[in-house]
A and B are shown apart, each in its own frame.
Chain A
Amino acid sequence: MIRRADALLAFALVLCAAGFVAGGCGAPEAGGPAVAVRWENLTVPPATGPITHVLVRNLGNSTYRGTISVVCPASWKLNRTSASVTVRPRQTARVPFAIERGTNAESNSYPVRIEAAGNGRPVRRTQTIVCASAPYFKPQIDGKLDDWGAAIPATFVTGGKKTVIRTYWSRQNLSLMVAVEEAALHPPGAQPAAAGADAVQIAISPRNAKTPSHHACPPGRGGSATSAGAKARRYEFLLAAAGKQPGGKCFALIAPGQKLSLAQKARPLAGLELPGAQVAVVRKGGVTYYECSIPLKAMGSIRAAPGREICLSVLVHDGDGTGLRDWGEAAGLWPQQRNRLAWCLWQGAKWPKDPPFDNKIEWGFCSSKD
């Protein structure tokens, strides 16, 4: 006869085994970090005293309870330097910290540290965040580059080469200037054989937009199903040099409502030119400057006003140099945020083995950089 204690023990063992099996796809390896953390970029200058956020993603199958401690630049004062957090499995908490006193750095570069102490061993991360924000200004898109002094530069380095993103907004346009340090410029159609073409790819979305995951796990097992019918929630553009300097073109690759399956076809660019966009591309001193104004009328779900937030990301294609440069990497996105549905393929591009990072990265509008 089986004793009750033995039956209970057997039942408990069966439950544990079932839980292990039900852990599902994407479960962290045994001994892996319990959470992933990331400090979001600021979307208005720190001197205005905004709220800043730390993301905490629970990578495990049980609720995470812990404390998030942060270290900010010495010249800032936060309302608190630690916060308790409870995060359900596979969920992400967004923990706010108010900047009570902040200062703007000319470099627009702010070193920060995060420590999450909870289930398992502590998770620590050091990052350099930026103010990712577009001040109000109406630049002349003419290749002269002299209108960008009032912008807030977001700089990142890939393979030893610098990329600087500057943005402006006005009632009519969202303007960008992307400065790409590279050895040579080979626009689409003029790239060397076997090398990808040089261009800048931009994705802009409303702040609450999400990109469906390309992970193959069925729903409820730690991932989201890929859906052929899923629709884009972004506006995506490609800037490329064309003709004599400062000639350039802006191609509209996808818009909200279009099927994401479109993103997976390497389409020719001809016929995708965006009406009303102004582009100038010039080379100066080893840097290619892509200047562009995109009419806000072409992005109906984007409303520009001080304090508003959007998602914005940039890929730089340097086919014969560093390869793909990804703002998502510089912004500190997690490995699991790589997503092949996040960016459109196009003819002439050369893509690395790993998909680029998701394009849904915080960016904001502000009045001025001061």
Chain B
Amino acid sequence: MTRVSDPKSLLWMVVFAAVAAGLCGCGQPAKVALADSSRDIIFRVGVSAAKDPLQAGKAAAQAAKKQIGAAPLKAVIVSECYEDKARKAKVLEGVCSVLGKENVYGGSSYGSFTQAGVMEDESVAVLAVAGKDINVRAVCQEKMGTAGLTLDKDKDKLYAALRKAGADLGGKVGKKDDSRLMIIIADAHSPKNGPLVEGIQQNLGPAFPMVGGAVNKNAGQTFVYFRGRMLNDAAVGLMLGGDFKVALAGRQAKENAKVIATARAGADEALRRLAKAKAKPAAVLAFNCAGRKGKLDNVAEELSAMQKALGKELVLFGTYNAGEIGPADVAEKTPGVLSSGMGWHVMYGVLGW
């Protein structure tokens, strides 16, 4: 082994290492080339943490609306974490008052994250999907039959109800030639999201791209939103179609350092897969686990890690959930199955062309 005894040599090595680190951009957000304007497909995000939930809903919706301009609005996804039904209803009212309730979907979450930062306290994030080159078909499966059933006592009955609900949801939405991605928001926390997804796949097939999240399961805080209505025991499916590509990735972690590392690794993989399909990203959806967030010493570090892969310009709409849908990061994956209902995951869906 060579011993460095010369201080000058040591100094040059330090300088070289610093330059190399700077060049490789290890610590910096990535510079990501974005999809061009050849498609009239727009994703824009608005956020608000106003104390008044009605004003918050309006502000977030107005921010998104302003950004989409005259592009035809196709769908709005809401992620909010105001406390209790009355305040949640006001948020929804605020969003619907600006964007029209017929377009509004989503659910209660544990918080959201966008390029503007992480929002854990009472807040709302809104994703507006617009443009004439994207279509969105929305379906809802109400009364899934899970209310009052528990995993401990009624597992078989519960799972059967969820599979059936999923099959019905998948059957309602169906798949068309230009269908590209199904977003699912459901009152089905992990592991219940597993059979729900299996049910959906009975109609859409195991390899169809799906991402999504389970809504907040805190007592009194569980709501799925469908065209302005607040529902329990329900699942919403949004089928996005058009001339664009989709790439998915999922990562699991349960400890601080791994949560941060996997957040970047998952985002990296999703972008790599999209690049392999010869597309540049226009937007990324991230359905993240509230439990992962709970393990972070500093919640901002996970977002920073994502930005090292995604950059700071790509539209990012992220939510914290009680279960996630997407590619499972497990050793024993079922061959041929792209998406599963999991826990402790961050699931990425990147869209582009």
Residues of A bordering B, CB below 8 Å = 44, 47-51, 96, 98, 103-104, 106, 135-138, 150, 171, 305-309, 365, 367-368, 370
Contact = CB atoms under 8 A, between A and B. Distances in A.
Nearest to A309: B294
Given A104-B151, A104-B152, A308 B294 contact: yes
Report the interface size class on chain B. Answer: 20 to 34
26 contacts: A44-B291, A47-B151, A48-B343, A48-B344, A50-B254, A98-B254, A103-B152, A135-B218, A135-B219, A136-B218, A136-B219, A137-B219, A150-B219, A305-B110, A305-B120, A305-B293, A306-B290, A307-B291, A307-B292, A307-B294, A309-B294, A367-B189, A367-B216, A367-B290, A367-B322, A368-B189
Contact of A368 (B217, B255, B291): B217
Interface of B: 83, 110, 120, 150-152, 189-191, 216-221, 254-255, 290-295, 322, 343-344
A131 to B, nearest CB: 13
Choose among A44, A48, A98 the residue with the greatest number of B CB atoms under 10 Å from its CB: A48
A121 B156 CA distance: 46
A307 B150 contact: no
Given A50-B254, A135-B219, A367-B290, 4 more contacts: A49-B344, A96-B255, A305-B290, A307-B290
A275 B150 CA distance: 38
Given A135-B219, A137-B219, A150-B219, A307 B151 contact: no
Q: Summarize B's interface: helix, strand, loop or mixed.
A: loop
A136 B293 CA distance: 16
Contacts, number: 63
Nearest to A43: B294
B11 to A, nearest CB: 34
Contacts of B322: 306, 367
Main secondary structure of the interface of A (DSSP, over half): loop
Contacts of B152: 103-104, 106, 370
Contacts of A44: 291
A47 to B, nearest CB: 6
A307 B291 CA distance: 5
Q: Which 8 A-B pairs have the closest CB atoms?
A: A307-B294, A136-B218, A307-B291, A308-B294, A367-B217, A51-B254, A306-B290, A137-B219
A87 B190 CA distance: 36
Residue of B83, B120, B291, B292 with highest tally of chain A CB at under 10 A: B291
Contact of B151 (A51, A306, A370): A370
A150 B222 CA distance: 15
A350 B152 CA distance: 42
A136 B254 contact: no
B217 A307 contact: no
Contacts of A305: 110, 120, 290, 293-294
Contacts of B150: 370
Nearest to B216: A367
A368 B322 CA distance: 10
Nearest to A50: B254
Contacts of B221: 136
Contact of B191 (A47, A96, A368): A47
Contacts of B294: 305-309, 365
A307 B293 contact: yes
Contact of B219 (A47, A48, A368): A368
A81 B80 CA distance: 41
A210 to B, nearest CB: 16
